[in-house]
Amino acid sequence: MKVRTILHVDANSFYASVECLHRPEIRDKAVAVGGDASLRHGIILAKNQKAKAMGVKTGEALWQARQKCPDLVILTPNYPLYLRFSRILREIFYEYSDLVEPFGLDEAWIDVTGSTGLFGGGGIIAEELRKRIKKEVGITVSIGVANNKIFSKLGSDIKKPDAVTEITPSNYRQLVWPLPASDLLYVGPATGRKLHCYGINTIGDLAKADPAFLHRLLGKMGYVLHGFANGLDNSPVERLGEEAVIKSIGNGTTTPRDLVCDEDVRIVYWSLCESVASRLRQHGFLCRGVQICVRDNRLVSFERQTRLDRPTCVSCDIFDAAMVLFRKSYDWANPIRSIGVRAINLVGPHTAIQTSLFEDEERLSKREKLDIAVDDIRRRFGHFSIHRAVMLRDHALGGINPTEHTIHPVGYFKPSG
């Protein structure tokens, strides 16, 4: 069996790089892309190298960044522009392989196993891509080369910016194992803290740990992470069409003011769930599950998910599931700063659905037709041309336009059946 050659391409400081490309007057300045402080979206989303050299960090508050760099140029995000450049990058990738799997707007895996006979080895292809993107697009990328997706992603992080790193079976112990365990995909803050409590601080520590112990500590992910640390990852780079890139459809927002009761949450969730359901219908999907995320005013967050009795693209079904999850999961110890909802486990519109003796099928059909009618009105006359009466109870919360906060997260693991 032929050894795979996988590239992971990561556009350096993508949002900020694209902005500087389009605004020559700021290219020599420290630049960051961030939210709108007046709407409480006041964090740094991306920064260029000059801002990074001044200590500006992704995720920190705008006021903190300005303290470090008083002359920092902060721009609001221009997602249509970033989407355009993401597509341009993908068109270049397709010249080398049709096996391209995006991981967000600024990252993608490319399986070039079948292309090495035409273009040379993985390192040669990566160098050619790096130079072409710099010359033809005007931004820089870092590329990791390995025989699996996990190590290729690590490779793209090891040297930044504008670099290529090859991780091989002969050098991964020297390159990968000294890295912090948190650098490994799917080792989040909570998992990292658990591992640290038991002296597992590096990827090498994780690779050498007893798999049975990791299973007891982390469940099935213990085995998965142990395999990842040892370079054991057979997950394919999926050939994705225009719509297949969407593994789930979500929507979240930082609210204009803190949410302090269930009624506040209901108003915002109605807005978000309508947007998610509309996107499902737009892309021809039904969801079989709903996930919520909640962050309080101390910036402590959590996620919960549930499976639905039947696939749906109806806003009230998604809203009902989201509110049930929320009421089960939150005790109002603190006000809430931001919330989100996501439709997960997506299936096509022609998926067989088991009808129920206890459901009014005609009523369910009418709900979907009503949502479709609302979609049409908003498409013709604008989002606020029609909305639910509950939105009028609080003009600040009811005035959120969810179409300005839509996201399409891409998961590493394929959703389970």
pLDDT, tens digit (0-9, with 9 covering 90-100), for 221-269: 899 999 999 999 998 997 765 444 456 788 888 888 899 999 999 999 9
- pLDDT, residue 360, reads 64
- pLDDT, residue 179, reads 96
pLDDT, tens digit (0-9, with 9 covering 90-100), for 28-71: 999 999 866 554 456 788 899 999 999 998 878 788 899 999 99
Taking the C-alpha atoms of residue 162 and residue 357, their distance in angstroms, rounded to an integer, is: 60
Pick the CATH number of 249-407 from 2.60.40.420, 3.30.1490.100, 3.30.750.24, 3.30.1390.10: 3.30.1490.100
Residue 402 confidence (pLDDT) above 90 = no
Band of residue 198 on the pLDDT scale cut at 50, 70, 90: very high
Pick the CATH number of 1-176 from 3.30.70.1880, 3.20.20.140, 3.30.70.270, 3.20.20.210: 3.30.70.270
- pLDDT, residue 2, reads 78
The DSSP secondary structure of 158-219, one letter per residue, reads HS-SSEEEE--TTTHHHHTTTSBGGGSTT--HHHHHHHHHTT--BHHHHHHS-HHHHHHHHT
pLDDT, tens digit (0-9, with 9 covering 90-100), for 339-361: 999 998 887 655 556 655 556 66
Residue 301 confidence (pLDDT) above 50 = yes
Band of residue 119 on the pLDDT scale cut at 50, 70, 90: very high
Q: What are all long-range contacts of 177-181, with beta carbons under 8 Å and residues at least 24 apart?
A: 177/202, 177/203, 177/204, 177/207, 177/229, 178/202, 178/203, 178/204, 179/154, 179/203, 181/205, 181/206, 181/229
Q: Among residues 19, 60, 101, 107, which one is catalytic?
A: 107
- pLDDT, residue 131, reads 97
Return the higher-pLDDT residue of 398 and 108. 108
Residue 90 confidence (pLDDT) above 80 = yes
Residue 407 confidence (pLDDT) above 50 = no
- For the question of residue 128 being annotated catalytic, the response is no
For residue 233, the SS3 value is coil
SS (H, E, C) 2-51: CCCCEEEEEECCHHHHHHHHHCHHHCCCCEEEECCHHHCCCEEEEECHHH
- pLDDT, residue 404, reads 52
Which residues are registered as beta bridge partners of 346? 287
Pick the CATH number of 180-229 from 3.30.70.270, 3.40.50.720, 1.10.150.20, 1.10.760.10: 1.10.150.20
Question: Strands 286-296 and 107-111, how do they pair?
Answer: unpaired
CB 277 within 8 A of CB 315: yes
Question: Residue with structure tokens 């947007």?
Answer: 275
| Mean pLDDT score of the chain | 86
CB 330 within 8 A of CB 369: no
Which phi and psi (to 5°) does residue 7 adopt?
-105, 145
pLDDT, tens digit (0-9, with 9 covering 90-100), for 127-174: 999 999 999 999 999 999 999 999 999 999 999 899 999 999 999 999
Taking the C-alpha atoms of residue 346 and residue 3, their distance in angstroms, rounded to an integer, is: 32
Taking the C-alpha atoms of residue 104 and residue 146, their distance in angstroms, rounded to an integer, is: 20
Question: Residue with structure tokens 């290219």?
Answer: 27
Tokens standing for 271? Answer: 């807005």
E strand segments, 62-117: 73-75, 100-102, 107-111
Which residues have CB under 8 Å from 193's CB, separation 6+?
A: none
- pLDDT, residue 46, reads 87
Residue 413 confidence (pLDDT) above 80 = no
Residue 19 confidence (pLDDT) above 60 = yes
- pLDDT, residue 378, reads 81
Taking the C-alpha atoms of residue 56 and residue 62, their distance in angstroms, rounded to an integer, is: 9
For residue 264, the SS3 value is helix
The number of residues making up the chain comes to: 417
Question: Strands 141-146 and 31-34, how do they pair?
Answer: unpaired
Domain ranges of the chain: 1-176, 180-229, 249-407
Taking the C-alpha atoms of residue 148 and residue 8, their distance in angstroms, rounded to an integer, is: 10
Residue 212 confidence (pLDDT) above 50 = yes
Count the neighbouring beta carbons within 10 Å of the beta carbon of residue 173. Answer: 14
- pLDDT, residue 252, reads 85
What percent of the chain lies above the pLDDT cut of 90?
56
- pLDDT, residue 415, reads 40
pLDDT, tens digit (0-9, with 9 covering 90-100), for 371-399: 888 888 888 888 788 888 888 888 888 87
Count the neighbouring beta carbons within 10 Å of the beta carbon of residue 251. Answer: 26
pLDDT, tens digit (0-9, with 9 covering 90-100), for 182-194: 999 888 887 889 9
Distance of CA 416 to the CA centre of its chain: 18
